[in-house]
Amino acid sequence: MESVSSSHGCGPAGGHRGAVGEIVSIQADYGELLYPNGLPRLADPALAGGALLDLGIYPVSFAHLVLGGFDNVTAVGTLIETGVDSSETITAVRGTALATLSSTMLGWTPGRASITGTRGRIDIDSWFYRPSTVRLVSNTGIELAFYDPPTRHHGLAYEAAEFARLLTGGKQESELLPLTETVRIMQVLDEVRAQLGVRFPGE
């Protein structure tokens, strides 16, 4: 598994490429209190309800992008009376790397992520899927690099900027997240749903 580079200070990626070594572990979670008093669609299988597609997509996508895909996936979880998932923990394997990913719509979780390697670790503070503090930590616990985003708001601004770049460039697909990658991630979610026993109408 390829190593991960990091950014130093508030600047671009710098002189820490390969600092985590070979990736051995990824952890990420995302949970919000969205049921039973949240949006009714989250409990409705006809509207693709459940925690996985609304919340679990974030840790799954994170690990999938870091590892470049999964060799196999196993999942355990709980369902509510309508048949959609309320919580799940997913274990994904790629080579010798193991990703532990969780999501729930029954409560607020820390919302952090980490990438651990043979030389060090990258920690992303809550909420990891938005602009957040990123730290590179050595195996001895020494902080080697630190990135603090200029703002923690407007996380979707980056997606909007990428869309504008594609539009003005006459492109129909982003090389940062091509359609094939999106399809592969959705196949992972379909496999998780199958293991949990979540079925939507028409399936």
User: How many CA atoms lie within 13 Å of 70's alpha carbon, on the beta-carbon side?
Assistant: 26
What are the pLDDT digits (tens) for 127-184?
999 889 999 999 999 999 999 988 777 778 888 999 999 999 999 999 999 999 999 9
Position 59 in a domain: yes
DSSP state of 52: I
Domain assignment present for residue 94? The answer is yes
Write out pLDDT tens, residues 22-80.
999 999 999 999 999 999 999 999 999 999 999 999 999 999 999 999 999 999 999 99
Residue 181 within a domain: yes
Instruction: Please report the pLDDT score of residue 197 as a whole number.
Output: 97
- 202 or 76: whose pLDDT is higher? 76
Could you tell me if residue 58 is inside a domain? yes
- Structural domain of 187: 23-195
pLDDT of 5 > 60? The answer is no
In a domain, 46, yes or no: yes
pLDDT for residue 154: 76
Within a domain: 143: yes
- Mean pLDDT for 91-101 is 97
Q: What pTM value is reported for the model?
A: 0.88
**79, part of any domain:** yes
**Whole-number pLDDT of residue 15:** 56
CA distance 73 to 127: 24
> CA end-to-end span of the chain, whole Å?
36
Cα(31)–Cα(78) distance, rounded to whole angstroms?
A: 14
CATH number, domain of 39, equals 3.30.360.10
Q: Is the pLDDT of residue 8 over 90?
A: no
Helix (H, G, I), strand (E, B) or coil at 95: coil
* Other CB atoms within 10 Å distance of the CB of residue 35: 22
How many domains is the chain built from? 1
**Quick one: pLDDT at residue 10?**
36
Position 12 in a domain:
no
Q: Round the average pLDDT of the chain to a whole number and report it.
A: 91
pLDDT of residue 158: 85
pLDDT of residue 11: 36
